[in-house]
Every structure is written in C-alpha cells, then in structure tokens.
C-alpha cells in the first residue's frame, strides 16, 4: 500500500512543513476528520520497530465559536456516534468557513498491531494547505532506526549523523547540512588514513587539495558511488553558504540517502574483506592438513 500525499505528510512531514490541498482533496480530508472511517496511513511504529499501518482513532478540534455546531467537526472513535454534519467536496465555501472557525486538530493514530502504540499529530488546516504543528513521538527521527548499523564505522561521528537527522526532523535545513558535511569529510579522511601508505601522497598535499581533488586521489579506494557523485560535497557546501532553509530541506533526503549509500558500500567492502580473510585462512588450513595426509 502506498501513502497518498496527505498520508505521506502525516507519516513523514517535518514540524512546520506543509502539504498543498485543493478541492480534490476535500473528500480525503473528510475521511481523515471522521474517525469512524478509520483513515489509514503507512508509518514507522517506534514500538513495533517496523513500518506498519496506523489509523486515525480519534481527534480533538479547537474551535472559536461553540454556537456554530453545523461547522463543527468532532472526532468519534470507531463504533461511536457520528451525527455531525460533514463538509462535502462540492461545498468549497463550507470548507473555507469551517477552517475559519475550526482549524486546529490533534489527531490520535493507533498502530494496527496494538492500540497501546499511539502517535499524536497536530495539524492546522488552511485554505490551500495543511501545516503540521506538532507530533509525538517524533516519528521522523525514529524513521531511521537502520542508521545504527553505521555506529561502529562512524565511531564518534555517528552522533553527527544523528544530529543531522534530528535537525532535519525539526526543519533546520542549513544546520543539518553542517553535520552531514562533517560525516562526508570523515569518510574521506578515514579512507586517506587507511590507504596513505599505498597512494603515497603526503598529508600536507592531501590537506591542501580541494575536495574534488582529494576524491580523485583516493578514487581506487573509495566506493564508486562517491567518485561518480563527488558533487555531493559541493551541494553540502552550497547549502551551508548559499541556499536558504527551504532549499536545504528540499534536497536533504537525496543527499542524506547518498551518504547512506556510500556508507553501505564501505560496510559491504569491509564485510567482504573479513570473509575473504577468513576463507583464505581456512584454505591454508585445508592445504596444511592435506599435505600432512
Ligand atoms: Zn506498533
């Protein structure tokens, strides 16, 4: 099952990010704001620690004028009473009127695997968009449980990768690039230290070289992906010096996933080396045994 843009926004949208809506989305919003319809979306469950499905169990809305019940939407848990008038797709004006009075909602979603795994999402409806104003737990951050596999490889830089993700989840664009760039540099410097005896380039020359050149110097040792995509570093630097917050946030996923791709290649290479070493020693043992025999 794939998420609609609204479902994707509920599951993965950062705090203060928005999703554009048009009259075509009113029907979906109508389902979202009627808990008896059990609106579902795919999301990572921090308790189950897997991607699963959540459904809207209930919600509360905050309105200015209690005397206008016909514009009031009230959440009803499945099986509860639902006799509140709804807005309909064709009634665009009614929607506009609704959001004037009643536009803040706290949605409670439950994991389908257990009702003891709730997440709360606060949204504000506007005429042409929905804004996420809060979420607990911070699902966005726990969306990355797999990064723990890089902990050993990155050692004390692992926390920097986590900080980049944490800043991004709080919609801090430029700051998240600072930490991602440090992780990128760590990969390059580690590779230099591992292979400096073979490449025979002095530390001074290496340090003075621009990043493009550094990658070129290490091209036989670095993962192919980083050599083919050395521009990742220029994008990170541009993000820190020139791009605005929104531009940084827009490209974050691609850049962060590229760094994960590089780390994956390094991990694969390392595990291959360990396996080769162990097989080589086993073959030597067999050869020794056969000689004796
Ligand atoms: Zn769960």
Ligand 1 centre from 53 Cα, in Å?
8
Question: Is residue 85 over pLDDT 60?
Answer: no
The Cα–Cα gap between 16 and 173 comes to: 12
pLDDT for the residue numbered 102: 74
Ligand 1 centre from 106 Cα, in Å?
19
Q: What's the mean pLDDT in 137-157? A: 80
Instruction: Check residues 254 and 94 and name the one with the higher pLDDT.
Output: 254
pLDDT for the residue numbered 69: 35
Instruction: Check residues 55 and 94 and name the one with the higher pLDDT.
Output: 55
Ligand 1 centre from 47 Cα, in Å?
5
Ligand 1 centre from 81 Cα, in Å?
27
For 123-132, what is each residue's pLDDT tens digit? 999 989 999 9
Model pTM score: 0.63
pLDDT for the residue numbered 139: 62
Ligand 1 centre from 39 Cα, in Å?
16
For 90-115, what is each residue's pLDDT tens digit? 457 777 777 777 788 899 999 999 99
The Cα–Cα gap between 255 and 134 comes to: 25
Instruction: Check residues 116 and 82 and name the one with the higher pLDDT.
Output: 116
Residue 64 contacts residue 72 (beta carbons within 8 Å): no
Length of the chain equals 293
Q: What's the mean pLDDT in 253-259? A: 95
Helix (H, G, I), strand (E, B) or coil at 32: helix
Which ranges in 118-210 belong to alpha helices (H)?
139-142, 151-154, 158-169, 173-199, 203-208
Ligand 1 centre from 113 Cα, in Å?
5
Ligand 1 centre from 46 Cα, in Å?
7
Ligand 1 centre from 138 Cα, in Å?
14
Instruction: Check residues 94 and 236 and name the one with the higher pLDDT.
Output: 236
Q: Closest Cα to residue 92, out of 24, 34, 39?
A: 24
User: pLDDT confidence of 88, banded at 50, 70, 90?
Assistant: very low
Query: Which range has the worst mean pLDDT, 1-15, 75-89, 178-192, 226-240?
Result: 75-89
Which ranges in 49-157 belong to alpha helices (H)?
92-101, 139-142, 151-154
Average pLDDT of every residue of the chain = 85
Ligand 1 centre from 115 Cα, in Å?
8
Give the angle subtended at the CA of 93 by the CAs of 41 and 19, to the nearest 5°: 30
Ligand 1 centre from 132 Cα, in Å?
22
pLDDT for the residue numbered 143: 62
């Amino acid at each position: 099952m794939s998420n609609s843009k609204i479902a994707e926004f509920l599951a993965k949208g950062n705090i203060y990010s928005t999703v554009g809506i048009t009259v075509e989305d009113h029907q979906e919003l109508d389902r979202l704001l009627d808990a008896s319809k059990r609106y579902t979306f795919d999301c990572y469950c921090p308790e189950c620690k897997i991607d699963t499905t959540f459904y809207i169990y209930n919600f509360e809305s905050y309105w200015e004028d209690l005397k206008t019940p016909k514009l009031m939407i009230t959440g009803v848990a499945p099986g509860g009473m639902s006799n509140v008038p709804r807005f309909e797709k064709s009634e665009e004006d009614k929607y506009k009127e609704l959001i004037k009075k009643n536009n803040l909602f706290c949605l409670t979603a439950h994991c389908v695997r257990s009702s003891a795994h709730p997440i709360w999402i606060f949204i504000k409806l506007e005429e042409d968009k929905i804004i996420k104003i809060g979420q607990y737990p911070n699902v966005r951050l726990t969306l990355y449980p797999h990064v723990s596999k890089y902990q050993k490889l990155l050692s004390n830089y692992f926390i920097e990768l986590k900080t980049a993700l944490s800043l991004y989840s709080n919609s801090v664009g430029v700051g998240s690039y600072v930490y991602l760039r440090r992780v990128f540099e760590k990969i390059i410097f580690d590779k230099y230290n591992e292979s400096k005896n073979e490449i025979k380039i002095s530390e001074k020359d290496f340090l003075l070289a621009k990043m493009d050149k550094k990658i070129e110097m290490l091209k036989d040792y670095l993962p192919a992906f980083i050599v083919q995509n050395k521009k990742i570093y220029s994008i990170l630097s541009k993000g820190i010096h020139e791009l605005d917050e929104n531009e940084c946030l827009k490209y974050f996923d691609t850049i962060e996933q590229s760094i994960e791709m590089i780390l994956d290649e390094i991990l694969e290479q390392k595990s291959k080396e360990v396996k080769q070493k162990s097989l080589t020693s086993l073959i030597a043992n067999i050869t020794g045994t056969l000689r004796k025999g």
